[in-house]
Structures are given as structure tokens and as C-alpha cells.
């Protein structure tokens, strides 16, 4: 009599591993049908909804944790050209650099690449009758924006990011400069 090999474990593990990039793998969990951000995925930095609400402004919570979108040309960084870094507004991870920010007519901060490999994850987003690639912080799973393939070279990518999802830090400011002009 043959023994069954426990191969059923493998698809389960694969689903967990792929959850960062695969849409279909999320649908086996009913909770994943809720579009609000990623309570079913494991990230290094996690908080309860109550914890996020304490940490974030209502606008940040809506964008970062409920996959909201700020209106074009209303965010604080869409036209920022200062040299510096952009950190996740939810967890503080460095996500983008001003070197990769470019003028885009879309009205949101736009970057041609991320600060380093693995800083964000992408997944399919079929909301609003469109197919887009949603961009999430890889450290905390918060919603950042979307990535499109109409950006400048050499990547050809446009990371279209909500100002509310990031905090800018001007790295070239001398420490003696008082903040606030």
C-alpha cells in the first residue's frame, strides 16, 4: 500500500510566496476580496487598523491603507524638484529618490525607478474597470500608487505615487538651515 506524499503542502506554500505578486493567489481567501489594503498579506511592519489610524492622518490612512487616490495636482510633492529622498509615510522606509523623479503632466509625483530593488511590490489591480499595476510598500504593505510603462528611459516606467503616501526629506539642506522658508 502506497503512502500519499504530502505534496498538498507545496501549493499552499507557493500561494503564500506568490501572494506578493499574484492576484489570483489572493482570491482563495474571502477577506482578500475586500480591496482595502492587504490585511491578508504578511509584511515586516504591521499594525492593526486602530494602530494605523493613530499613526496616520485621515488622508494618509485613506490613501495608504484603503488604496485611495489623492486628486491630481493637489498633493504636496507633485511639483517638488528639490534633491532628497522619499520615505514611506506609513513606515519610514526609503522608497524613491529625487534623482529618479521627473516632470510628468499627470499631477502626481512620478519616478522612473524605485530607490532599490525590493522596496516596493506590485500586484494586479482590476478596480474601476481598468487593469493597472498597484504599487505597495514592501515593508508595510501600504498603497503607494500605480506603475505604468509610459515613463522615460532607460526603465520606461512611471511610478505614479500619491504625495500622501510619502514623506520627503531634503538631503542637501545644510543642518544650519532652519526648516520652513
4-23 mask for Zn ion (x: CB under 5 A)? --------------------
Other beta carbons within 10 angstroms of residue 72's beta carbon come to: 12
Name the nearest CA neighbour of 106 among 130, 83, 74, 82.
Answer: 74
26 or 95: CB nearest Zn ion: 95
49-88 mask for Zn ion (x: CB under 5 A)? ---------------------------------------x
56 or 91: CB nearest Zn ion: 91
The only residue of 90, 121, 147, 161 in contact with Zn ion, by rule CB under 5 A: 90
Q: How far is the CB of 25 from Zn ion (least distance, A)?
A: 22
Name the nearest CA neighbour of 138 among 46, 2, 34, 25.
Answer: 46
Q: Look at the block and give the residue holding cell 514592501.
A: 138
Task: Please check whether residue 153 is in contact with residue 67, taking contact to mean a CB–CB distance below 8 angstroms.
Answer: no
Name the nearest CA neighbour of 134 among 167, 159, 116, 115.
Answer: 159
112 or 142: CB nearest Zn ion: 142
Task: Please check whether residue 143 is in contact with residue 68, taking contact to mean a CB–CB distance below 8 angstroms.
Answer: yes
Q: How far is the CB of 143 from Zn ion (least distance, A)?
A: 10
List CB contacts of 44: < 8 A, sequence separation 6 or more: 139, 140
Identify whether 137 is a catalytic site residue. no
Within residues 112-151, the interface with Zn ion by CB under 5 A covers 137, 139-140, 142
87 or 158: CB nearest Zn ion: 87
CA distance 72 to 69: 9
Judged by CB under 5 A, the stretch of 73-81, 89-97, 117-125, 161-169 that binds Zn ion is 89-97
> So which residues are the catalytic ones?
160
Write out the residues near Zn ion by the rule CB under 5 A. 88, 90-91, 93, 137, 139-140, 142
Amino acid at each position: 500500500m502506497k503512502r500519499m506524499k504530502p505534496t498538498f503542502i507545496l501549493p499552499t506554500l507557493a500561494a503564500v510566496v506568490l501572494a506578493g505578486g499574484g492576484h489570483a493567489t489572493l482570491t482563495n481567501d474571502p477577506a482578500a476580496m475586500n480591496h482595502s489594503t492587504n490585511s491578508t498579506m504578511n509584511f515586516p511592519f504591521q499594525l492593526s487598523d486602530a494602530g494605523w489610524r493613530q499613526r496616520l492622518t485621515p488622508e494618509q490612512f485613506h490613501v495608504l491603507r484603503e488604496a485611495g487616490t489623492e486628486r491630481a495636482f493637489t498633493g504636496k510633492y507633485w511639483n517638488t524638484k528639490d534633491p532628497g529622498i522619499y520615505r514611506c509615510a506609513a513606515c519610514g522606509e526609503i522608497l524613491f529618490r529625487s534623482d529618479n523623479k521627473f516632470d510628468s503632466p499627470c499631477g502626481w509625483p512620478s519616478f522612473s525607478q524605485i530607490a532599490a530593488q525590493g522596496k516596493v511590490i506590485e500586484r494586479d489591480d482590476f478596480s474601476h474597470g481598468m487593469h493597472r499595476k498597484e504599487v505597495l510598500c514592501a515593508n508595510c504593505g501600504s498603497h503607494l500608487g500605480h506603475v505604468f510603462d509610459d515613463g522615460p528611459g532607460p526603465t520606461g516606467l512611471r511610478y505614479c505615487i500619491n504625495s500622501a503616501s510619502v514623506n520627503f526629506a531634503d538631503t542637501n539642506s545644510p543642518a544650519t538651515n532652519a526648516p520652513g522658508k
